[in-house]
Amino acid sequence: MNDYLQKHGKENFAFGTHSPMLDYLTGMLRIESLRPSEADVSTLELLRSGNAKRVLGI
């Protein structure tokens, strides 16, 4: 995931559940497993919900 963040920018990704095919926990665990050297607190917030809220206007 870190390669994608560096290549495309942290503002271009949003958390998705892939429901009903996959459970939401899998995606969330990928975000939470990022090391501090890969994603700072503000990046994690964008990935968790910030980018989706911005795109959806909420």
- Domain range enclosing 8: 2-56
| pLDDT at res. 28 | 83
Q: Which of 37, 34, 14, 16 is nearest to 25 (CA)?
A: 16
Kindly tell me the burial class for residue 56, based on how many C-beta atoms sit within 10 Å of its own C-beta (0-12, 13-18, 19 or more). exposed
Residue 24 has pLDDT above 70, yes or no: yes
Structure tokens at 37: 């050297």
Number of domains in the chain: 1
- pTM of the full predicted structure? 0.73
Q: Mean pLDDT, to the nearest integer, of 16-36? A: 78
